[in-house]
Amino acid sequence: MGTTHIVDRRLNGKNKSAVNRERFLRRYRHHIKKAVADAVHKRSITDVERGESVSIPTRDIDEPVFHHGQGGRREMVHPGNQDFIAGDTIPKPEGGGGQGGGPGQASPDGEGMDEFAFQITQEEFLDFLFDDLELPNLARKKLKDTEAFKYVRAGFTNQGIPAKLDVVRSLRGAHARRLGLGGARRKKIRDLEKQLEELKSAPEELDAAFSHEDQIKAVEEEIARLKANVRRIPFIDEIDLRYRQHVKQPKPATSAVMFCLMDVSGSMTQMHKDIAKRFFILLYLFLKKNYKKIEVVFIRHHTSAKEVDEEEFFYSRETGGTIVSSALKLMQKIIESRYSPSEWNIYAAQASDGDNWNDDSPVCGKLLANQILPLVQYYAYVEITPQDHQMLWYEYEKIMERFPQSFAMQQIADPGEIYPVFRQLFERKAA
C-alpha cells in the first residue's frame, strides 16, 4: 500500500494549453480571417472592441482515422428492452438508410450542419483584423529625432540631494550597520552579565584572597566599557544615506494623434457618415495596436470647419456648400498649437463625398502639398460615392503622384468595401 502525497497545483501556470490553442488558430487562420472580415461588416459601430465567435465547418477540422462506414451486416446490443422478443422484425424507416449502425458514428450526410464554434479574444480579433497591415512610414520617427526625455528610476546611489533621500533604504542600511558593529560587543556583554550573575550567586569564599569581589568588579568595569562603546555607535551615519537615482532617457514618440476630417455638408447623408465612421473606427483600432497613447481630433466642415467632439462629429446635421480647405487650414492650425511633429506621430483620414467648390480644390492641393504632408506620417482620403469623381479627386490624384509615400486615396461605394479599402490603404508594402 502506497502513501499519498498531496500537492497544491493551483498556483502553477494555468495556461498549459495556450500554445496548443495558438497552434489551432494558426492552422485555421484563413477560416478565422474570413469570419473576422465578415464580422466587421455585420457589427454595429460601437462594439468593435470585443472578441468574436468563429465557427468552422466540422469536416474541415476533422482528424480522419480508419473506421467503419455504413452498410454490411452488424449486430448491436442495447439496454432497456420493453416488449421485443427474439425474432421480432422492425421495418426500417423510409429513406433513412441504415440507422443504428456503428457506435457513435455521425451521419456523413449532415453536411454543413455541424460547425465547430469557439471564441477568440478581442486581441486575437484585432490581430486577425489587421494581419498583414502596417502603418506606413513608421521608420521616419527615429529615436534621435525625438527631443523629449523622461526620467526613469535607476536604482539607488549614495550621493544626491535631500529631496531624493530614501528614508526606508537609509534606515535599513543604518540598522544593518548598527547590528554589524555592535553585535559582537552585545554578545560579549550578555556573556559577561551571565558570568557576573554566576559570580554573585556563588557562595562566598572564606578566604579573602579568593574573594569574588575583584572578579566582580573587573567584570562590571568591562561591561560598562563595552556598553559605552555600543552607545557610541551612531544611530545613522553619512554612509547609510541612500538617494533615489533617476536617469534621463530619450522618450520615443509613442503617442499618435489622429485627425478625422469629414464633410458634413447637405450632400452627405447618414449612410455616407456611417461608412465614414466605420472607416475611422478601423483606423483608430489599428493605431491603437501600434501606439500606447492616441488622441483623436474630429474636424467637420461644410463651408467652414470646426473642431467638435465625437458625438457631434457623427450625428449632427448641417446643410450648405462645401469648402474642404477650411478643414485643412484648421487641422494645420491645431497641429501648430498642440501637436508638435517632433513628439507626435500624426495621421489623418479624410472622408467626403467628393463635393467641393471647384475654386477650392487647387487650394486644397497646395495646402496639402506644402503645409500638411510634410508634418504627417500618413494621410488617407476616402471618397464615399458611387458616382463620378469631381475636381477634388483629380486634384488629390496629382498629390498622390508627388507623395506616394505619405498620401493614399480610395473610393468606397458601399459598406462592404470599407474593410477591403482599408486593407488596401494600409497593406504592407514590400520594402
Partner 1 sequence: MSDIVDRPNAPDNAPSNTRKPISTSSEWTFDLIREYDEAIAECAREFGLDTYPNQVEVISAEQMMDAYSSVGMPVGYHHWSFGKQFLNTAKGYQRGQMGLAYEIVINSNPCIAYLMEENTLPMQALVIAHACYGHNSFFKGNYLFRTWTDASAIIDYLVFARNYVAECEERYGLDAVEQIIDSCHALMNYGVDRYKRPPPISASEEARRQKEREEYQQRRINDLWRTIPKLDDDENSVKSQRRFPEEPQENLLYFIEKNAPLLETWQREIIRIVRKLGQYFYPQRQTQVMNEGWATFWHYTLLHRLYEKGLVNDGFMLEFLQSHTAVVYQPPFNSPWYSGINPYTLGFSMFTDLRRICEHPTDEDREWFPDIAGSNWVETLHFAMHNFKDESFIQQFLSPKVMRDLKLFSIENDDQEDHYTVTAIHDDPGYRPLREKLARQYNLSYREPNIQVWNVDVRGDRSLTLRHIPVDRVPLAEDTEEVVRHVHRLWGFDVHLESVDEGTVVEEYHCPPPDFEDIDGH
Instruction: Give the binding site for partner 1 (CB under 8 A).
Output: 1-10, 12, 14-17, 19-27, 61-82, 84-92, 98-105, 108, 116-119
Quick count: other Cβ atoms within 10 Å of Cβ 17?
Answer: 10
Cβ-contact 119, 51 below 8 angstroms: yes
Query: How far lies 293's CA from each of 160, 258, 333, 379, in Å?
Result: 33, 11, 21, 19
Nearest distance from C-beta of residue 134 to partner 1, angstroms:
23
Nearer to partner 1, 72 or 203 (CB): 72
Nearest distance from C-beta of residue 70 to partner 1, angstroms:
8
Nearest distance from C-beta of residue 55 to partner 1, angstroms:
11
Nearer to partner 1, 1 or 167 (CB): 1
Nearer to partner 1, 108 or 162 (CB): 108
- Reduced to 3 states (helix: H, G, I; strand: E, B; else coil), residue 161 is coil
Nearest distance from C-beta of residue 46 to partner 1, angstroms:
25
Nearest distance from C-beta of residue 129 to partner 1, angstroms:
20
Nearest distance from C-beta of residue 269 to partner 1, angstroms:
42
Q: Report, in angstroms and rounded to the nearest whole number, the Rg of the chain calculated over CA atoms.
A: 40
Nearest distance from C-beta of residue 114 to partner 1, angstroms:
12
Nearer to partner 1, 119 or 387 (CB): 119
Burial letters 81-112, b for 16+ CB under 10 A, else e: eeeeeeeeeeeeeeeeeeeeeeeeeeeeeeee
User: Which of 284, 282, 318 is CA-nearest to residue 298?
Assistant: 284
Nearer to partner 1, 103 or 112 (CB): 103
Nearest distance from C-beta of residue 102 to partner 1, angstroms:
8
Nearer to partner 1, 57 or 182 (CB): 57
Cβ-contact 225, 316 below 8 angstroms: no
Nearer to partner 1, 25 or 334 (CB): 25
Nearer to partner 1, 19 or 139 (CB): 19
Q: Report phi then psi at 110, rounded to 5.
A: -85, 45
Cβ-contact 391, 358 below 8 angstroms: yes
User: Which of 271, 279, 259 is CA-nearest to residue 411?
Assistant: 279
Nearer to partner 1, 87 or 203 (CB): 87
Nearer to partner 1, 92 or 200 (CB): 92
Nearest distance from C-beta of residue 33 to partner 1, angstroms:
16
Cβ-contact 153, 245 below 8 angstroms: yes
Nearest distance from C-beta of residue 8 to partner 1, angstroms:
5
Q: Residues 29, 30, 33, 38: is their CA dihedral positive or negative?
A: negative
Nearer to partner 1, 18 or 176 (CB): 18
The rounded distance, in Å, linking the Cα atoms of 256 and 347 is 7
- Specify the residue for cell string 475611422: 280
- Specify the residue for cell string 544615506: 241
Q: Report phi then psi at 307, rounded to 5.
A: -85, 130
The rounded distance, in Å, linking the Cα atoms of 124 and 274 is 25
Contacts of 419 by beta carbon, 8 Å cutoff, 6+ apart: 37, 40, 41, 282
The rounded distance, in Å, linking the Cα atoms of 185 and 169 is 25
Q: Report phi then psi at 155, rounded to 5.
A: 75, -150
DSSP letters, 45-63, are GGG-SS-EEEEEEHHHH--
Nearest distance from C-beta of residue 107 to partner 1, angstroms:
11
